[in-house]
Amino acid sequence: MIQRIQTLYLLLAATVSGGLIFALHLWITATNVKIFAIDNLTYFAMFMASAVLSLASIFMYKNRKSQFVMGRLNIILNFILLGLLVYQSLSISGETNVSEKGIGIFLPIVSIVLLALANKAIKKDEDLVKSVDRLR
């Protein structure tokens, strides 16, 4: 389980989605208040759901097909989260609520890249097992 590269990718994706949201802010308001994901329940729930899906996918290493499907669902969840964050940052005009965008807005992009790499490795393992089964 740990020796597979997709496990490391999934663990990094879980760390990005579940851990870095507490360290990196999403934006700074006009009154210089840093807004983290934990301050907004919707964003926090989506980040935590992404982290839980990544961790659950790690422990499904015996069933590669469902691991692959969970990875795809996690990618879709992160795209939805990214869309919400971009909408939030673009829909508020001027300096009313959002003064400065934070680096935390890009966390779903990092998570999407890591999940895509994990799914590529899962697919590679599945193809290897299928090719060995053909030789029997």
- Kindly report, residue by residue over 22-61, the tens digit of the pLDDT: 988 888 777 778 888 898 899 999 999 999 999 999 999 8
Nearest-angstrom CA–CA distance, 21 and 27: 12
Q: pLDDT for 65-119, tens place per residue?
A: 999 999 999 999 999 999 998 888 777 655 555 567 778 889 999 999 999 999 9
Specify the DSSP class assigned to residue 1. -
Task: Decide if pLDDT at 136 tops 70.
Answer: no
Nearest-angstrom CA–CA distance, 81 and 13: 14
Nearest-angstrom CA–CA distance, 102 and 119: 28
Tokens of 113: 């890249």
The pLDDT, as a whole number, for residue 129 is 85
The pLDDT, as a whole number, for residue 71 is 94
3-state helix, strand, coil in the chain (%, to 5): 75, 5, 25
Residue with tokens 């053909």: 134
The pLDDT, as a whole number, for residue 116 is 97
SS3 101: strand
The pLDDT, as a whole number, for residue 66 is 93
The β-bridge relationship of strands 27-28 and 100-101 is antiparallel
The pLDDT, as a whole number, for residue 52 is 96
